[in-house]
Amino acid sequence: MTETKNLEKEIELMSKKFLDSSKDKEILVISHFDTDGITSAAIIIGTLKKLDKQFSIKIIKSLEEKFIQSLPKDKILLFLDLASGSFNSLGKFNLENIFIIDHHEISQAIPEGIQIINPELNGKQKISSSSLTYLFCKNLVPKIDTLAKLAVLGMIGDTLEKEIDKLNNGILLDGEIKRKRGLLIYPSTRPLNRTLEYCSRPYIPGVSGDIKGVLELLREIGLNPKNGKYQSIIELSEEEMEKLATAIILRNPKAKNKEMIGDIFLIKLFNKLEDARELSATINACSRLSKPHIALQLCMEIPNVKKKAETIHAKYKQLIISGLKFTSDSEKISGNGFTIINAKDKIKDTMIGTIASILSYSSLYEQGTIIVTMAYYKDKIKVSARNVGKNGRNVREILANIIEDIGGEIGGHEFAAGCMIAKEQEQEFINLLKKNLEIEVVRV
């Protein structure tokens, strides 16, 4: 528990410094555009409004040097869910009043004067930026319990739900989160036929994206519509749940029964209990289809936004299915323990990381395989790397070695990382990547 206390002490100290610094200065909040970043931003917005602070907010995909150079020197800069990989750039432009709440790996020296909360500096506790932001905000305004559910959403968005009980900070209690044991396919609150059709984690061959395959699977295990409508996962009996899990495992041998049954977290949003995984995916979809403002408004429960967000998510799910089809049919660069998929302009840069994650959870690759996906973004290339089964080599280190040689921005974790490189370095990057991956195999 001492590590957690150290982290809590850091949060307490930084919150005091933040309050002192922001007495007579405007605050610029810069947050990452994924679910964890969006929920962190929504928590900060709710808190700063209560404090009656002057602030503005920017949601960004990545923290590029050009963007850092453009930042104002007369405002408090609060970075959420990013900046731990950008200390060299932050130090270069003599920016003052920098506060960072992040949980990504740190690989550069932290310039003097930067205030940072990051569990990498305090025992490497597995915790999302949204949960750190919530604990930070609780020090600023003690009564913000209504924002706790957003911290849980961020944890789930970063697939850290198994770490939720280790927090011991009362976030689940504050957020009035309901738990139910069940099959970990979302949304658990919607009819099964729709849930299975768009299921991508796990990806079910012959079922995901194929309504005929869905109906065949449900008929096979005797799960038929009742009053013209299929049940939802949370309505299934234990026996029905087991039958469904078995049918999925038969189609995806990599999926394990014990990993498929777990805690379903139900969160009240717009006065209705919703599956936290589905909400997290909806937030993510809005951001990745260039609508982060809709994602933020959804978290803030702005009336009439829910329908817009659901429409965007439906489109996103269709794009994911077509993206997976492309990766299935496309030529790949494969070696011992790795696969590189260069989608070029065939998959959106904002979706390439999601595709990599889904593939890393599919039955297509062995444990420990490194999957690297690439997609064009203007004059750059977005690269996402995942390690199947979250064990084996550190993909962030592998990417960092290459970025050191050719330049670019990098971020992420040990088993899920990404970088941005110049388009003209496409072939050089692939050559260096193959070389690094093959060297690593020899070392192992």
Question: Is residue 171 a contact partner of residue 148, using CB atoms and an 8 Å limit?
Answer: yes
Angle between helices 148-157 and 276-288 (to 10 degrees): 70
Query: According to the model, what pLDDT value does residue 166 have?
Result: 64
What's the Cα-to-Cα distance from 207 to each of 36, 38, 210, 305, 387, rounded to whole Å? 29, 31, 5, 31, 24
Angle between helices 395-406 and 426-443 (to 10 degrees): 140
DSSP letter assigned to residue 424: G
- Write out the two tokens for 426: 């496409």
- Write out the two tokens for 371: 């999957």
Question: Is residue 340 a contact partner of residue 435, using CB atoms and an 8 Å limit?
Answer: no
Q: Give just the sign of the alpha carbon dihedral 301, 302, 304, 305.
A: negative
Write out the DSSP string of 74-103. SSEEEEES--TT-HHHHHHTT--SEEEE--
Main-chain dihedrals φ then ψ at residue 58, nearest 5 degrees? -125, 130
Write out the DSSP string of 342-356. E-TTSS-TTTHHHHH
CB contact burial 209-242 (16+ within 10 A = b; e otherwise): bbeebbbebbeeeebeeeeeebbbbbebeeebbe
Read off the pLDDT of residues 206-262 as tens digits, 9 standing for 90 and up.
Answer: 888 889 999 999 999 999 998 889 999 989 888 998 899 888 888 877 666 556 778
Give the number of other Cβ atoms within 10 Å of residue 120's Cβ. 16
CA atoms within 13 A on the CB side of 166: 13
Strands of the sheet containing 380-387, edge to edge, are 333-335, 338-342, 370-377, 380-387, 416-422, 409-412
Gap between the Cα atoms of 73 and 75, Å rounded: 6
Strands of the sheet containing 98-101, edge to edge, are 55-60, 27-32, 76-80, 98-101, 115-117
Name residues of the chain where pLDDT drops below 70. 1-5, 165-169, 254-259, 440-444
Q: Report all structural domains of the chain as residue ranges with CATH numbers, in order of start.
A: 2-171 (3.90.1640.30), 180-324 (no CATH), 331-443 (3.10.310.40)
Gap between the Cα atoms of 71 and 185, Å rounded: 42
